[in-house]
Structure formats: C-alpha cells, structure tokens
Amino acid sequence: MAPIKIDHVAVVVDDLDSALNFWQNALGLPIGGTEHNEHEAVEIAFLPVGESRIELLKPITDDSGIAKYLAKRGPGMHHLCLAVYDIEAAMAHIAAQGIQMINETPRTREDGTRYAFVHPKSTGGVMVELYELKPSN
C-alpha cells in the first residue's frame, strides 16, 4: 500500500492570475495544463515540478467545499496528494488502521484518474488525497 510518490501539493487561491504571477513568473514554473472541474467546482492550474506538481485551486461557486475552505482559512495549502497503484487497497488499509476517510468510495476525474480524501482529523491536520496511478503514469 505504500505511496509511490507525491503527485501534487494543492494550494487554494482567490485569484488564479495573481497566483500564477508568483508561481509562473517569479519562480519560472511552466503551466502544465488547466482544468475546469464542475464536480469539485474549481478551476485548476497544474504546474509541474520534477515528477510532482503544484495544483492551484480557485473556486468557481460560492458554496463549493473549496470556496468554504477559502472563506474560513484564506488562501494557502489545501492538501497533499500521494500516488498509489491500487486505491481500493490503499483505502482499505487506511480504514483498517482506524483512520477516517472523507470519501467511502473513490471518485473519478474526467481523465479517468480515481481519487479519495483522508480526513485531516485523522492525519494531524493535513488533508491527504490519494490518486490511483494508471499503468502509463
């Protein structure tokens, strides 16, 4: 069940252009892609760093989970994402340790990537996302 790598670190932002000014212009990170995710109600910009990415999340509605997070805590780090080969096995292993999951079953992104979140109450305050790597990744 051991994670393979850090897939990404997600940062919540209130202004994507302003955030990109720092990450892209000041640090020189390229934009590896963008995504409009209706299910999570966010605009996402992906910035590759080595084998990992910085993921900038901007809410697109006022009532989404990310919007509520931003209103309560302000911009900043949202979660750490760890890549795994078998998400069901990883989730079962974590649950067997008495760790609380946010998602009981994996969700699926438009590109087919399956993911689930571990509740920060069980991790010492850090939200952890699990991504299932496809064989080609």
pLDDT digits (tens, 9 = 90+) for 31-50: 999 999 888 899 999 999 99
Asked if 54 and 8 touch (Cβ cutoff 8 Å), the reply is yes
Q: Which residue segment(s) compose the domain that 60 sits in? A: 5-132
Counting the structural domains of the chain, the total is 1
b/e map 31-50, b = 16+ CB within 10 Å: eeeeeeeeebbbbbbbbeee
Measured distance CA(99)–CA(39) in Å, rounded: 25
Tell me how many degrees the CA angle 22-80-37 measures, rounded to the nearest 5.
75
What mean pLDDT is predicted for residues 98-107? 95
Query: What CATH number is attached to the domain comprising 98?
Result: 3.10.180.10
Instruction: Specify if 137 maps to a domain.
Output: no
The CA–CA distances, whole Å, from 98 to 24, 85, 95 equal 40, 21, 5
Instruction: Specify if 13 maps to a domain.
Output: yes
Instruction: Specify if 25 maps to a domain.
Output: yes
pLDDT at 3: 82
Instruction: Specify if 65 maps to a domain.
Output: yes
Whether residue 134 has pLDDT greater than 80: no
Convert the pLDDT of each residue in 51-60 to its tens digit: 999 999 999 9
- Could you tell me the pTM of the whole model? 0.89
